[in-house]
Chain A
Amino acid sequence: MKHAILGAAALALLATGVVAQEVTLGRFFGDCEDAGTDTKASVGEACIIQSIINAADAQLVGVSVNTLPTDWGNYYDQIKAAYAGGTPPSVHVMHRHRVPEFASLGALADLTDDLEAAGIDPNDWEAAALEAVTYNDRIMGVPMDFHANLWHVNMDLMDAAGLVENGAPVLPTSPEEMLEHARAVKEATGQDYLAADFAQFPIGVRVVLALLWQQGSNIFDGDMATIDTPEARTAISAITQLFDDGLANPQLNYADSQQAFLNGEAAVLVNGTWVVDFYSAEAAKDDEGLNTYFVADFPTLFDEGATWADSHMWAIPAPLKANDADTYAAALQVLAFINDHNIDWARTGHMAVRTSVLASDEYAALPHRDEYTGTADIARDTPPSVRYGAIQDVLNREFQAIWLTGKSVDAALADAQADVQDLLDR
């Protein structure tokens, strides 16, 4: 009997040695059912990232990757609850803007001294990418991309309005000129000039922020809210003049504004880098709607160029590094694999973070890539804050109140100023 027990224990030990180390992975980007393992064939953010994860699962020896079910809209709530409950995923994606919130609490593992051994070369990252994942001079994550707001352009509508020169769209250089262009499009085609999600996700906020930064202003400085300013009024009226004249519809949400653009009902859609490959694929289809697609940098309507931008990055929870060396090592292997496939992720339309990838022919050959090379230079975001999410929600609520419910700009900016100040004071 004793022998039998010992034998079983030995077998169990052997089995656990052979069984792959499981790495749980949390991510947003949405679901993709049949992503496969071909990282060159998938289309769209969800399927491209899942194909990379599936390939890691298949190719990394001794490592299995289990993608946890998460929901985009509540992602950070879920991740925080998981941390608070002591069960965070082994690796998870996050935005650069969340680093202060997570790193200041000691939630993220310091990867600085372990990257090279895992086959990740931080020297190959763009300076801005390294900065994005650095907190107090320590590297807290592996960057995956830069993403930014772009102007996605329907060239047929622009052409009909006489707004194409040398194969590129003519973009406005001032709010007045934007209004002229918008009227020209309406007259020539009957369609809207601009569409974006002004009703749900904070894309409208990001448009206003860009116009604010273009005037050298910002929403807060240190712990002082600076929203209720003449610059903010100018930025907002640049947008609302289009709504007031019926040249853009503020009531469309993300799905509806995208559909309007793909149906050929808007000349310009403001949306991120993440949809370039998807819109290219849609434009290539032989149907009504969008046929000639162009991607442009966010135009400069004021003094300096600026567009909203952020970075996606991968992090490992600090408790994992402290308590579970085997899973930590496996998690680093998964991050190295994702880092190695930076070119595949860039197929979405995102900008790569590795200088070797940025310099490659394969990267230059990606569709529309040469049309928005200026975006990297004008990429901006609000100052770092542990209250980033709540501040975005305040802006989103108050700006939407202006164009959806007719709240006066003065009242909305005063409320936003008070609410953001309240958040900064907490």
Chain B
Amino acid sequence: MPRDQGARLALTQRQAAAILLLPFLAVYGVFLVYPFFKGVWISLHDWNLMAVAFNPDAKTYVGLRNYERVMWGQNITWGALANPGFQIVGFLGVVASYLLYRTGRAARVTALAMGIAGLLLFVLPGFHPGEGGRWFDRRFWPTVGNTILFVGLAVPGVTITAMLLAAALDGETRAKAVLRTLFFLSQVLSVTVVTLIWQIMFSPRQGLIANLTTLFGGSPIVWLTAEGFAMAAIVIATIWWSLGIAMILFLAGLQDISRDLYEAGALDNATGAKAFWYITLPNLKRTITVVVVLQIILHFQVFGQAHLMTGGGPNDTTQVLVRYIYQTAFRDSELGRASAMAVFLFVIMGAFSILQFVLGREKDE
């Protein structure tokens, strides 16, 4: 009798999996999937944040007009050399990916990803307003450009600094352990604290950096309001802030490298920098990929640093995408337009997530 009861209650593996997954799927659906599709839906409407709150019918369906108003313009044309800097790099990227694939130095997916990125870099910056034309929103693409520039500076900055630190602090002495903790500490601070610290550091009147420049006879740089320095300032603060996790990942990667390799290398006279270049770096390739892609996804969402330190200035040089979305949604109450920009950001980050997925699978092939 008890056996029968037990048999009746027994679940197949599939059923058990479904039950165990249910809580996660419910939370995921309610807090991630539903808001995402709601965001896409909002982006198809003329939707005023406050007006809709007071009158749910105060929105109108406008189709893709928000996307057009944000990304397109009047009389837009395309030229192969409209924006030579980006387009030449893009073109070279396409050529390089093809060559790397043909010579067997890059796997098919890697070459494909690189080729697509190069193609986009060649095609997208080629669009520009023709004679008498203008962008409907002349700030959107420069803002995207600023965000890419920020990512382009912060990601190599974090990766290289974290890798060097990890290589220097990999070991079992007490001092190294203390230093590892110290370098990780900045990661636990909130963006408000980090920006406050760096605003003081960069202040031309009381900042540490200004004091040092004056000590050596220079005149202090007004970092946060000088055109050439504002972006550098938020990049520096960001590198300092997000070093910790990358360093930990590199330390884990370093500890995975077999000691035998170094011993063998030492026999061949490869020590110090040589060992780092020929043994450590190649073995860290996968960790570097993970760190770079994670950082790219993370830093595309930069907001606090630009919002709190420079307010997007001077002259919009540090205006970044999330801050523009925030201002459009809350200052201007234009939720539809802001959602269209957010969907654009999602596409970019989605592309990098796919790239990470593809690169991650390559190992198993």
Q: Which B residues touch A398, using CB under 8 A? A: 315
Cβ contact within 8 Å between A80 and B333: yes
B-contact 0/1 string along A122-137, CB 8 Å cutoff: 0000000000000000
Complexed CA–CA distance, A253 and B200 (Å)? 13
B343 at the interface (CB under 8 A from A): no
Interface centre among A76, A85, A260, A400 (most CB of B within 10 A): A400
Residues of chain A in range 229-271 having any CB-CB distance to chain B below 8 Å: 251-253, 256, 259-260
In the bound complex, do residue B331 and residue A77 qualify as a contact, i.e. CB atoms below 8 Å apart? yes
Given contacts A77-B331, A105-B50, A405-B314, contact A259 B222 (CB under 8 A): no
- Is there a chain A Cβ closer than 8 Å to B157's Cβ? no
Q: Does A419 contact B (CB under 8 A)?
A: yes
A415 to B135 Cα, complex, angstroms: 12
A199 to B205, CA, bound (A): 15
Closest B-chain residue to A386, C-beta based?
B333
Assess the A405–B317 pair: CB atoms within 8 A: yes
Complex: chain A residue closest to B52, CB-CB: A84
Which one, A84, A199, A407, contacts B50 given CB within 8 A? A84
Minimal beta-carbon separation of A294 from chain B (angstroms): 24
Q: Does A278 contact B (CB under 8 A)?
A: no
Q: Is residue B51 contacting chain A, with contact meaning CB distance below 8 A?
A: yes
Given contacts A86-B53, A256-B204, contact A251 B225 (CB under 8 A): yes
With A106-B54, A387-B332: A407-B315 Cβ-Cβ less than 8 Å: yes
Given contacts A80-B50, A400-B313, A405-B314, contact A256 B330 (CB under 8 A): no
What B residues does A84 contact at CB under 8 A?
Answer: 49-50, 52-53
Chain B residues, Cβ within 8 Å of A426:
334
Interface centre among B50, B136, B327 (most CB of A within 10 A): B50
User: Of the candidates B50, B226, B334, which one forms a contact with A251 in the assembled complex, judged by CB atoms under 8 Å apart?
Assistant: B226
B173 → A minimal CB distance (Å)? 43
- Determine if B138 is an interface residue (Cβ-Cβ < 8 Å): yes
Interface string of B313-332 (1 = CB under 8 A from A): 11111000000001100111
Query: What chain A residues lie within 8 Å of B134 (beta carbons)?
Result: 418
At the interface, yes or no: A70 with Cβ under 8 Å from chain B? no
Specify the chain A residue showing the minimal Cβ separation from B332. A390
Residues on A with C-beta less than 8 A from B205 are 256, 259-260
Q: Does A83 contact B (CB under 8 A)?
A: yes
Total contacts A-B at CB 8 Å: 90
- Which A residues are CB-close (under 8 A) to B52? 84
Q: Which of B49, B53, B312, B332 has the most CB of A within 10 A?
A: B53
Contact of B225 among A85, A199, A397, A407 (CB under 8 A): A199
Asked whether any CB of chain B lies closer than 8 Å to the CB of A393, the reply is: yes
Proximity bits, A384-418, B CB within 8 Å = 1, else 0:
00010110010001101100111100000001001
Q: Which residues of B contact A318 (CB under 8 A)?
A: 54
Output the nearest chain A residue to B310 by Cβ-Cβ distance.
A200
Chain B contacts of A83 at CB under 8 A? Answer: 50, 53-54
**A23 at interface by CB-CB < 8 Å:** no
- Determine whether the beta carbon of A251 is less than 8 Å from that of B222: yes
| Closest residue on chain A to residue B50 by CB atoms | A105
Q: How far is the CB of A397 from chain B (nearest CB, A)?
A: 6
Write the chain A residue with the least CB distance to B206.
A259
> Shortest beta-carbon distance, B311 to chain A, in Å?
6
CB contact under 8 A between A405 and B315, given known A84-B53, A105-B54, A107-B54: yes
Measured between alpha carbons, how far is A105 from B50 in the docked complex, in Å? Answer: 7
Minimal beta-carbon separation of A110 from chain B (angstroms):
14
Chain B 49-66 residues near chain A, CB threshold 8 A:
49-55
The count of residues in chain A whose C-beta lies closer than 8 Å to any C-beta of chain B is: 39
Closest residue of chain A to B225 (Cβ to Cβ) is A199
Residue pair B314, A404 in contact (C-beta under 8 Å): yes
Known: A389-B331, A418-B134. A404 touches B50 (CB 8 A): no
State which residues 134-157 of B face A: CB under 8 Å.
134, 136-139
Residues in B with CB closer than 8 Å to A85 are 53
Which A residues, 309 to 366, have Cβ-Cβ distances below 8 Å to chain B?
318
Shortest C-beta distance, A383 to chain B (Å), equals 18
Min CB distance, B31 to chain A, in Å?
16
Of chain B, the residue at the smallest CB distance from A256 is B205
Residue among B48, B52, B136, B332 having the largest count of chain A Cβ atoms under 10 Å: B332
Give the CA-CA distance A398 to B313 in the complex, in Å: 10
Q: How far is the CB of A66 from the nearest CB of chain B, in Å?
A: 23
- The answer to whether B138 and A397 touch across the interface, beta carbons within 8 angstroms, is no
Decide if A397 touches B316 in the complex (CB within 8 Å): yes
Q: Is the CB of A284 closer than 8 A to any CB of chain B? A: no
Asked whether B331 lies within 8 Å of A390 as measured between CB atoms, the reply is yes
**Contacts of B55 on A, CB cut-off 8 Å?**
106
- Cβ of B203 under 8 Å from chain A: yes
**Least Cβ–Cβ distance between A198 and chain B, in angstroms:** 9
- B170 is an interface residue with CB less than 8 A from chain A: no
Q: Mark B38-76, 1 if CB is under 8 A from A, else 0.
A: 000000000011111111000000000000000000000
A84 to B58, CA, bound (A): 13
B234 → A minimal CB distance (Å): 15
Q: Does A81 contact B (CB under 8 A)?
A: yes
Given known pairs A106-B54, A251-B222, A405-B227, the reply for A400 and B330 (CB within 8 Å) is: no
Q: Check A404–B225 contact: CB distance below 8 A.
A: yes
Known interface pairs A259-B205, A390-B332, A418-B138; A199-B53 also in contact (CB < 8 Å): no
How close is B62's CB to chain A, nearest CB, in angstroms? 12
Set of chain B residues within 8 Å of A400, measured between Cβ atoms:
225, 313-315
Q: Please, how many angstroms separate the alpha-carbon atoms of A106 and B50 in the complex?
A: 10
| A265 to chain B: closest residue by CB | B205
Please, which residues of chain B bring their CB within 8 A of the CB of A102?
50
Q: Using a CB-CB cutoff of 8 Å, which residues 88-130 of chain A contact chain B?
A: 102, 105-107
B336 to chain A: closest CB distance in Å? 11
Using Cβ atoms and an 8 Å threshold, which residues of chain A touch B222? 199, 251-252
CB pair A77–B316 under 8 Å, yes or no, is: no
Question: For residue B316, which residues in chain A have a CB less than 8 angstroms away from its CB?
Answer: 397, 401
Residue of A nearest to B139 (CB): A419
**Given the known A-B contacts A105-B54, A259-B205, are A397 and B313 also in contact in the complex, defined by CB atoms under 8 Å?**
yes
Task: Choose one: B137, B204, B227, B331; the contact of A76 (CB below 8 Å).
Answer: B331
Q: Smallest CB–CB gap between A129 and chain B, Å?
A: 25
Q: Mark B331-365, 1 if CB is under 8 A from A, else 0.
A: 11110000000000000000000000000000000
Tell me the minimal C-beta distance from B233 to chain A in angstroms.
Answer: 13
Partner of B51, one of A105, A252, A253: A105
B 183-219 to A, binary, CB cutoff 8 A, 1 in contact else 0: 0000000000000000000011100000000000000
Q: List 19 A-B contacts (CB under 8 A).
A: A74-B330, A77-B331, A81-B330, A199-B222, A199-B225, A251-B204, A253-B225, A260-B205, A390-B327, A390-B331, A397-B312, A397-B313, A400-B315, A401-B315, A404-B226, A404-B313, A405-B317, A406-B227, A418-B138
5 nearest CB pairs, A to B: A401-B315, A77-B330, A404-B314, A251-B222, A84-B53
Given contacts A105-B54, A393-B327, 6 further A-B contacts (CB under 8 A): A80-B330, A81-B49, A253-B225, A397-B315, A405-B315, A415-B138
